[in-house]
Amino acid sequence: MSKLLEVKNLRTSFKTHLGEVQAVRGVSFHVDKGEAIGVVGESGCGKSVTMMSIMRLLADNSVIESDGIIFDGEDISNYSEKEMEKIRGDKMGMIFQDPMTSLNPLYKIGDQLTEHLIKHKKISKKEAWQKGIEMLDLVGIPSPEKRMKQYPHEFSGGMRQRAMIAISLICEPNLIIADEPTTALDVTIQAQILDLMKGLKERLNTSIILITHDLGVVADLCSRINVMYGGIVVETGSDEDIFYRGRHPYTWGLLNSVPNPMSEMKEKLVPIEGQPPDLLKPPNGCPFADRCEYNMKVCLENQPPLFEVGEGHKCACWLCHSDAPKVESPIGREE
């Protein structure tokens, strides 16, 4: 498969009155065409800031640096705001957690749905309206002709999320970045929205980056997973590498804190104790050291590199060094 997006050594910081917050500290990853990847981690780990940096949607006090952001063969890291605006409307779509913050309450759904289409695809209002109806139908909104003329407050939570997905998809972007798209929804609607995204990926060959704090949500949709902590990727691998052969103590913690999405059995869930590091003063060593029961002297002094632990499976933990003591994985998940 060929790469649609490649992010090289992304660093994002925010200038605040307290100092510089180093929210993303050297993140690299790629997404293939037609592939869905998951980015998981607790809030504040840098997952949303990473994606907002790629789309250049951050506030003015942010500083975004990288060794390149290659999208569809072009390095977009130095694109002007005007060029980025075109990419955002046309080739990259974003779905946010709360559609009410991204839908304008003053405009009809149909107008919001067709706005980008008229602007970026240069088609007539009439054609765009018809495409809008088809798109609402595609995302499972009944009576789409009637719904086009309604305002966001006339839609239920699940319907608004579907409308957001329709808006993100209407220009047929190559990439959709979905940031906690189902967190505010009940489990039934959550399952429907995930099924919908899966279907669209298969039908339109759209690539998806799904950002979530919930490993259960990525299990069904994503073939690869990046686990983020303290502004870096601490483990990356296939869904099976992460669920069954996870090597990082933070990944173990995450897996033990959510029900196993691949098992019917009831398990005892254990929250991860402690707090994430202060990114105003990031530690020199492993960012998870304060919360890690396995930490060693080297962990406090040096940030571990991403060790190759399997094909396409990498882990930033000193336990993966060949001289490290052998530690049994406590996750006990069977393939």
The contact set with ligand SF4 (CB under 6 A) reads 248-249, 286, 288-289, 292, 294-296, 299, 304, 317-319
In the complex, least distance from residue 276 CB atom to ligand SF4, rounded to whole angstroms: 13
CA-to-CA distance for 54 and 51, rounded, in angstroms? 5
Nearer to ligand SF4, 245 or 248 (CB): 248
Q: What gap in Å lies between CA 2 and CA 50, rounded to an integer?
A: 22
| Least distance (Å) between residue 322 CB and ligand SF4 | 14
Q: Are 248 and 242 in contact (CB under 8 A)?
A: no
Of 71 and 252, nearer to ligand SF4 (C-beta) is 252
Shortest distance, position 310 Cβ to ligand SF4, whole Å: 17
User: What sign results for the dihedral spanned by CA atoms 278, 284, 288, 290?
Assistant: negative
| Closer Cβ to ligand SF4, 5 or 227, answer by number | 227
Query: Tokens 């929250």 belong to which residue?
Result: 271
Residue closer to ligand SF4 (CB basis): 152 or 304? 304
Residues with Cβ within 8 Å of residue 144, at least 6 apart in sequence: 132, 133, 134, 136, 137
Q: CB nearer to ligand SF4: give 131 or 291.
A: 291
Minimum distance, C-beta of residue 306 to ligand SF4, in the bound complex (Å): 12
Shortest reach from residue 304's CB to ligand SF4, in Å: 5
Q: What secondary structure does DSSP assign to 103-160, as a single string?
A: S-TTS-HHHHHHHHHHHHH---HHHHHHHHHHHHHHTT-SSHHHHHTS-GGGS-HHHH
Phi, psi (rounded to 5 degrees) for 159: -65, -40
